[in-house]
Amino acid sequence: MPGTSSLRAWWAQRPPAAGAAVMATGVVSVGLHLAGHEVLSRILLALAGAAWLGLAADFVVRLLRERSRWLAEAGTPAALTAVAATTVLGTRVSALGWQALAGALLALATLLWPVLLVDVIKHWKPRMPGAVFLGCVATEGLAVLGATLAAAEHAAWLAHAALVLFWLGLVLDGFTLARFEPAEMTRGAGDQWVAGGALAIAALAGSRLIAADSARLRLWNDDAHGVLRAVTAAVLVLAVAWYAVLLVTEVGWPRPRYDVRRWATVFPMGMTAAATLSFAAADDVPWLKGPGRVLLWIGVAAWLAVAVGAVLNARTELRGPAPRHRAERVRSRAPR
């Protein structure tokens, strides 16, 4: 068994993309909750919460002790997993009735969002991998959590702020698409799926905004409600279309080896399921519940597969190279 010090050293080397594990686990928990599987949902929520605490502690340590590394990583799209993971966790926590904690997570994500988003956009360039869509995901994540809390706390101002973020996220999605490298569809290590995940979380945000309206709040008039419903439905259709295309590329160009970016594959799968189930409930479309459940269990299966890969990979890394391999490297470096 690895010692505590080696475990800490291994954890400290986790890249920002590791935040996608929290996003994936959290959103599958949300989907299981929407489908009525509360026990499984809470188990995954506990795992997501534990991982979030570990990554948050590492985030602070790097900020205080390894400033140059923190600044270098903050300019990468993967840094925005910190915002997205926090909003997904807050959304699930709100469903438990823990509105104060969900509000604190929203405040934290809101503080991080402009700092990281501006830095990431400064480093945008042509032909980027799928992680470039995390700017849209983080923005729509704020909209999802804002709309969720608005409904729970009967806060109209929060719903209107979430609506602004919803539209901003869609605008960002359009700008981001121009910087995405299409070849990543067949060669990406997993984060190419975020292209579809950005649309799926926008559909979830739209669904939560529709559901937030009530006789007490009176958020949207008939015209506004109609536009919001139509846009949300269209975005959900596009998200499912992306899902289908990405699934075909996985079959045509299989990439079975584990990569930490595979968590960014699970996230859109779970998010598409959650968005479908949420829209079915918000707009009273019962026939969508069946497809939503099918997508959910596909997401659960993907989560299990990636989780097994992550555990096996972690065990290999913690054990380190075998003595024979180390000796071979020493001989290969020796002068001849």
Q: How confident is the model at residue 325 (pLDDT cuts 50, 70, 90)?
A: very low
* Mean pLDDT to the nearest integer, 279-290: 94
Residue 147's nearest CA partner among 139, 21, 37 is 139
Q: CA-CA distance, 92 to 270, in Å (whole number)?
A: 13
What 3-state class would DSSP assign to 67?
A: helix
pLDDT digits (tens, 9 = 90+) for 29-87: 999 999 999 999 999 999 999 999 988 888 888 888 888 888 888 889 899 999 999 99
Q: How confident is the model at residue 4 (pLDDT cuts 50, 70, 90)?
A: low
Q: Which residues contact 34 (CB under 8 A, 6 or more apart)?
A: 274, 277, 278, 281, 292
Looking at the predicted structure, is the pLDDT value of residue 263 above 70?
Answer: yes
What 3-state class would DSSP assign to 128?
A: strand
Query: What domains are there in the chain, each with its CATH number?
Result: 13-314 (1.50.10.150)
Q: List b or e across 82-120, with b for residues whose CB sees 16 or more CB atoms inside 10 angstroms.
A: bbbbbbbbbbbbbbeeebeebbebbebbbebbeebbeeb
Q: What does the mean pLDDT of the chain come to?
A: 89
